Amino acid sequence: MTLPKPQTAKEVDLRSMFAESDAWDVRAKEAQAKAAHAFARLLEIAETSHAGQAGRVAQFLASTFNGRAYPYDLFDLRTFDVCIGDDMLVCLDALRWGKADLFDLVPDGHKRVQTLVKAWQIKSALAD
């Protein structure tokens, strides 16, 4: 049996590797900054409005808080006004980068989302 000849490992270009990492970091930070504003606007809608969309916005916010407990059907994105849907997509983009929980990007976000869950009576899928 003949074994293949060992191959020389390719040289790693550390400069390009770090440049790519820096570009990804910039992109993630930009997504997070946009999401902070979008999340705040969505919170405002869910906290102050009683229109039909507000309850579904609250459900979306709950899902960004804990997706297992409060699952969200992404098909519902089709039902929102464009500006609300755009804010939701911005939030999803920031979630994709995973740099921070969205509720941590706004003042008292953790408490505010928990208050919305109670106010809109959003049921946990994890409850018995």
Show the 3-state SS of the chain: CCCCCCCCCCCCCHHHHHHHHHHHHHHHHHHHHHHHHHHHHHHHHHHHCCCHHHHHHHHHHHHHHCCCCCCCCHHHHHHCCHHHHHHHHHHHHHHHHCCCCHHHHCCCHHHHHHHHHHHCCCCCCCCC
Residue 7: what pLDDT? 74
pTM of the predicted structure, to 2 decimals: 0.81
The reported pLDDT for the residue numbered 128 is 57
| Separation of alpha carbons 49 and 66, rounded Å | 22
Residue 66, CA distances (Å) to 13, 72, 103, 127 in order:
40, 10, 10, 13
Residue 62: what pLDDT?
A: 98
d(CA 35, CA 119) in angstroms, rounded, equals: 23
- Judged against a pLDDT cut of 90, whether residue 125 lies above it is answered with yes
42 contacts 60 by C-beta, under 8 angstroms? yes
Residue ranges per structural domain of the chain: 27-119
Percent of the chain residues past pLDDT 90, beyond the cut? 72
For 83-98, what is each residue's pLDDT tens digit?
A: 999 999 999 999 998 8
pLDDT, one tens digit per residue, over 5-39 is 777 777 766 566 556 778 888 899 999 999 999 99
Provide, rounded to the nearest whole percent, the portion of the chain with pLDDT above 70: 91
